[in-house]
Amino acid sequence: QMCSSGHRRVNSSVFQGVCEPCDCHGHATQCDDITRQCLGCTDHTTGFHCDECIPGFYGEANKGTPKERQPCACPFNISSNNPTCHVGLRGELICDRWQPGYTGARCDKCINGYFGQPVVKGGLCQPCRGNGNLDLASRRSCDTITGSCLRCRDGYGGTNCDTCAEGFYGDAIEAKHCQRCQCHNTYDIQSRGGCVPSKCDTFRSKSFDCNKSAQYQCQTGVTGPKCDQCAPGHFNFQEGGCTPCQCAHVGNNSDGNAGKCICPPNTVWERCDKCVPNHWGHDIMAGCKACGCNQVGSLTQQCNPNTGCCLCREQCHGKKCSECRLGYRDFPQCISCNCNVAVSDIQTCDADQDVCACVDRTGQCSCKANIQGLKCDKCTLGTFGLSTRNPLGCSQCYCFGMTSNCTGPHPHLSLKPEQTKLPLVDNDNQQETTRGVTFQHPEIIANADLVTQKLTEPYYWRLPEQFQASMITAYGGKLKYAIYFEGRDETGRTSYKPQVIIKGVSNRDKVMVRHMQGLQIGQLTRHEINMTEVRTWKYEDKKAMTREDFMDVLFYVDYVLIKTSHGNMMRHSRISEISMEVVEEGRPSVEREWAHQIEKCDCPLGYSGLSCVSVGCAASRADIGSCVQCQCNGHSEACDPETSICQNCQHNTEGDRCERCAPEYYGVVRGRPGDCKPCAFTEAQLNEGLNDYHCAACPEGHVGKYCERCATGYHSDPRAPGGKCEQCKCDTYGAWPQPCDLRSGQCRCHPWATGRTCIQCMERHVCGPSGIMCTHTNITY
């Protein structure tokens, strides 16, 4: 009699009635028998056949599955943010029934006049706080995040549009009636009260016009916002203005009522034009300032009245004498630094005052780059030769790279030529002549007419052999000479040629030159050339020399040339006073100076000399190469630098490499002092392999491989210290003809003899030419 769930009886007819399924798309279990309308739609559907989504949901309700209905995310999938929505032509979600204040395809923005953050959960769009006075015609009447008013209606203002704007008055909140002000100049504008009387005082004003700050233009001598008081320098406030004071000497500073002049601070005298004691800088308005001199550092508390500078003690400094003067430390004691200007960093010194700064508490002076020590009295590691003339204080150890440790300085000695005639050569030292060269004390003279028959200009004096070979000791000294010439012109084609040429022959030929200004005709010119690479010598291409190359040249000098030809059409040239400063051993005499730039290197094994230039090993130093240690098996430290043959073999060895034991010694040479031991009483020994030997010629009485035993007829222990085999020497009368004992040397005696050699008679026996006789029996045996 009833249709099952999800069906209806057609026309409600029971008799011969028909049940048919309800057309509810699976979202309802009942429908009206007559109208077929679905009853009780579920799954967020509605409509006659449950074929629509309820407000807040979207999807295809006629498909009959719950997942086809989704809540509208406008902008979030929560009930508070679910207006109606639908799916666009491209399948996108479009919210279509916005709540008041929202806009955007997902209701994710606030419209003009509303503010908030709808894209944040819990965020809402709320009306802006504009009290109904927002200018909604503007695109942004308020801030969409904070709600602050940005554009109010005309005549309204304030962050919440809750006041009348400037020039308007009225009630902006209740009546919302702000009207434009129309006030006379003697009235002020009040936002809510319209026009009110002005606060300006017209009694002492020049006009009735009052500015926006309620300020009139006051009469002379009157001031104040209301023109109600006397200006500085005036007194007696009354109608018509104020009376000027006679106080120009104090900047018109006076009593506004009585007109009495008022002195500025810290001034005295009738006209207030002097500072009180211990003050300075008089000003008619500000008065005088306190000197503030330091009580310890100043001699008096009174400072200069114009500059404010205090009078300091000798050791103190500064405007207020509150610091130590340069050269002193630890204020207020101000102890003298006692730093030497010559070895201190010049930037910390006053050379005119001969003082330098130092560090407080420690007194550490500021040293030059290569100097150390509290008082800058020591060279830093790897430097030497502390000198006040050295910009760095000390020179870097060179030592041809063999060590970084060296010392100095050393005394100078002037090297002078002994020859009275010097040869002339071309600038390559290829051609030589003495033609035209004469000696006239103290000068050596070159006759140009004769010289040019052999040489072409330019030509040079070549210094003798004293100035050749190793000249390392000349580093830091000076090359000195004097030149005189006569000619037609001072300038000629050779004027720009080098004045001095020095060639070295180390690992490669190096030539260094010295250019100087041209000489003057008929004038003796003395030259002193520093023998260092700094700003003095150049390569042939005029590039600056390095110290390494400069030392290489001095290591072995091939020649030193001094220019002879000068000017144009020279007649003759003279040279004199030639010398070169070099280092000598020992202490300097009174007239000699220290060579601060000559080093004494701590040379490694195999090297010697001031700069490690002498070789004591098996390698030649002609190319300034590295030494190879002598191969002498540890028995000699010296070998020939050319052949490498060992010299002075020690520890009883011999040979080119000290590789074998000397005669009378035996053993295997392995590099230890005790390799070779003395043979036992032998003059020769022959090795047998690496670890054994045998004696070749034993002394008389010795036998055995090592001469370690005594032969027959000899006795002793040759292996004992000082042991030596001695002949038995048994008496021919008292001893039997047999060898003596090999150890003790005791002979075998007849019964009547005794003693080691049987040379003594027993008691009651005598020995004689006829044999041993018994004195008691007179019986001869």
**3-class DSSP state of 448:** helix
d(CA 686, CA 692): 9
Phi/psi for 598 (5° steps) reads -95, 125
More confident: 535 or 423: 423
d(CA 686, CA 173): 135
Distance of alpha carbon 722 from its chain centroid, rounded? 71
364 pLDDT more than 80: yes
pLDDT at site 321: 95
Query: Burial level of 72, CB count in 10 A (0-12/13-18/19+)?
Result: buried
745 pLDDT more than 60: yes
pLDDT band at 777 (very low <50, low <70, confident <90, very high): very low
Q: Span 562-585, mean pLDDT?
A: 86
User: pLDDT tens digit string along 667-696?
Assistant: 788 888 888 888 755 455 566 655 566 777
Angle at 428 between CA 424 and CA 429, to 5 degrees: 40
750 pLDDT more than 80: yes
User: pLDDT tens digit string along 94-117?
Assistant: 887 777 888 887 788 888 888 888
pLDDT band at 623 (very low <50, low <70, confident <90, very high): very low
User: Structural domains in the chain?
Assistant: 137-197 (2.10.25), 198-262 (2.10.25.10), 264-322 (2.170.300.10), 326-379 (no CATH), 409-598 (2.60.120)
Strand ranges (E), 135-186 = 156-157, 163-164, 168-171, 177-180
d(CA 365, CA 340): 8
pTM: 0.41
User: pLDDT tens digit string along 215-254?
Assistant: 667 887 888 877 878 887 788 887 777 888 878 777 777 7
Cα torsion 295, 296, 300, 306 to 10°: value is -70
With CA atoms as reference, report the closest residue to 682 among 736, 724, 738.
724
d(CA 344, CA 376): 7
648 pLDDT more than 60: yes
